[in-house]
């Protein structure tokens, strides 16, 4: 009897603890997301995300420069988050910049920025490569890596997973505005649907498209001045804009994570543009 009462107290305490715990938003990605961006004074967008959550959520920026969905997986970085996260946390997955190319045999480099090209394809295709001192790796497609990571987090009790579209390069680079989503935008929509979409707590945020819209509104002079190093890595100012563009995309979708944003939508839209039209085929 005493044991039962004790267990009940523990159970209630546990429930209260779970209900009041502040969720952590774990952000994964590459140098356009990570701390210090591409170095040389540039910055990654997720460094600014915490300001839009106030005290409603913590943000852990786990993005790492040079990584693709493949090398982030091989490094064990999704696994590290899985080991640290608690039930009710959120995970943002944003790759696609370093995933391009064809997996190659014969590399002598085995870590870091190397060996990051995914196997081409939208399904379960694989590419076997041999490198280093006879290491064999069965390389998967982008959807396979992102779906495996997402499913892992959902199985561990994540409140949801946000599949996020990679950022554009400078949309004013050619002298006039230009933005075309990449194959990874298509893969993201496809894999979000295959994972079950919003009813399975998997949401798609068209981050790259919202960032492109924000860059269009800022104009060529400001945007050009905020890519100090190359057309990929932005200044802290533009990284902050890109973070706010993510937040706008989040608030324009149906994810409950959007309810934790402290800023009002109207205030955000004034600076960053309206919600983008998404039809029923886009699982936001
Ligand atoms: C950073 O700046 C230094 C010196 O300005 C330059 O040599 C280096 O190539 C830059 N790094 C990158 C990654 O562009
Ligand atoms: C953020 O997450 C990483 C794992 O991705 C972990 O190594 C790091 O300690 C975390 N940072 C904080 C402040 O918890
Ligand atoms: C790969 O996907 C195809 C088409 O969905 C399926 O028929 C096949 O069994 C799968 N192969 C493996 C090894 O999972
Ligand atoms: C790499 O080498 C292995 C073993 O010889 C071979 O099966 C595979 O097709 C090669 N992969 C590529 C991408 O050339
Ligand atoms: C490389 O590994 C394969 C499979 O593990 C093995 O059959 C082969 O003998 C190894 N080659 C060398 C040169 O070590
Ligand atoms: C929300 O407000 C904070 C604090 O003023 C600011 O840092 C952040 O960029 C804002 N977020 C958006 C999306 O406007
Ligand atoms: C919805 O959007 C998708 C992807 O952009 C497009 O292929 C499709 O034609 C659109 N459908 C309708 C009914 O507008």
**pLDDT tens column, 46-104:** 999 999 999 999 999 999 999 999 999 999 999 999 999 999 999 999 999 999 999 99
**CA 65/CA 31 separation, integer angstroms:** 4
Q: Is 279 in the pocket of ligand 7 (CB under 6 A)?
A: yes
Q: For residue 87, with 0-12 CB atoms within 10 Å meaning exposed, 13-18 middle and 19 or more buried, which class applies? A: exposed
Q: Is 277 in the pocket of ligand 7 (CB under 6 A)?
A: no
Question: Which span out of 2-16, 131-145, 254-268 was modeled with the highest average pLDDT?
Answer: 131-145
Q: Which of 150, 157, 280 is nearest to 202 (CA)?
A: 150
The contacts of residue 111 (CB under 8 Å, 6+ apart) are 75
pTM metric for this prediction: 0.90
| CA torsion angle 100 201 196 78 (round to 10) | 40
- Residue 140, classed as helix, strand or coil, is strand
Tokens read off for 147: 């779906």
181, 182, 281, 284: which to mutate for ligand 7, most atoms within 8 A of CB? 281
Query: In CATH, which superfamily holds the domain spanning 23-101+142-272?
Result: SGNH hydrolase (3.40.50.1110)
CA–centroid distance, residue 211 to ligand 7 (Å): 21
**CA 269/CA 284 separation, integer angstroms:** 18
Res 242 pLDDT > 70: yes
124, 127, 141, 144: which to mutate for ligand 3, most atoms within 8 A of CB? 124
Residue 279, pLDDT score: 65
For the chain, the distance separating the N- and C-terminal CA atoms, rounded to the nearest angstrom, is: 49
**pLDDT tens column, 2-30:** 444 444 444 444 444 445 699 999 999 99
**CA 113/CA 110 separation, integer angstroms:** 9
Residue 111, pLDDT score: 72
Domain ranges of the chain: 23-101+142-272
- The model's confidence at residue 236, banded by pLDDT at 50, 70 and 90, is very high
68-82: burial string, b at 16+ Cβ within 10 Å, e else: bbbbbbbeebbeebb
List beta partners, residue 131.
135
């Amino acid at each position: 009897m005493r044991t039962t009462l004790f267990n009940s107290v523990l159970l209630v305490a546990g429930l209260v603890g779970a209900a009041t715990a502040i969720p952590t938003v774990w952000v994964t990605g590459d140098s356009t997301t990570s701390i210090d961006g591409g170095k040389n004074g540039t910055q990654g967008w997720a460094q600014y995300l915490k300001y839009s959550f106030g005290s409603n959520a913590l943000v852990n920026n786990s993005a790492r420069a040079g990584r693709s969905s493949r090398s982030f997986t091989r490094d064990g970085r999704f696994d590290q988050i899985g080991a640290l996260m608690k039930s009710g946390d959120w995970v943002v997955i944003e790759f696609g910049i370093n995933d391009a190319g064809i997996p190659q045999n014969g590399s002598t480099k085995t870590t870091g920025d190397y060996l990051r090209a995914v196997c081409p394809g939208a399904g379960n295709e694989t590419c076997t490569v041999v490198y280093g001192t006879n290491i064999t790796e069965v390389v998967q497609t982008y959807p396979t890596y992102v779906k495996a990571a997402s499913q892992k987090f959902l199985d561990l009790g994540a409140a949801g997973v946000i599949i996020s579209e990679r950022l554009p390069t400078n949309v004013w680079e050619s002298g006039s505005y230009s933005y075309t989503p990449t194959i990874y935008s298509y893969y993201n929509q496809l894999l979000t649907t295959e994972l079950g979409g919003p009813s399975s707590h998997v949401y798609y945020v068209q981050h790259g498209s919202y960032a492109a819209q924000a860059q269009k509104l800022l104009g060529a002079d400001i945007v050009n001045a905020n890519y100090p190093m190359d057309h990929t890595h932005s200044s802290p100012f533009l990284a902050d804009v890109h973070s706010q563009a993510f937040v706008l995309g989040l608030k324009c979708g149906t994810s409950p994570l959007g309810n934790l944003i402290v800023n009002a939508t109207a205030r955000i839209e004034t600076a960053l543009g309206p919600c983008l039209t998404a039809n029923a085929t886009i699982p936001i």
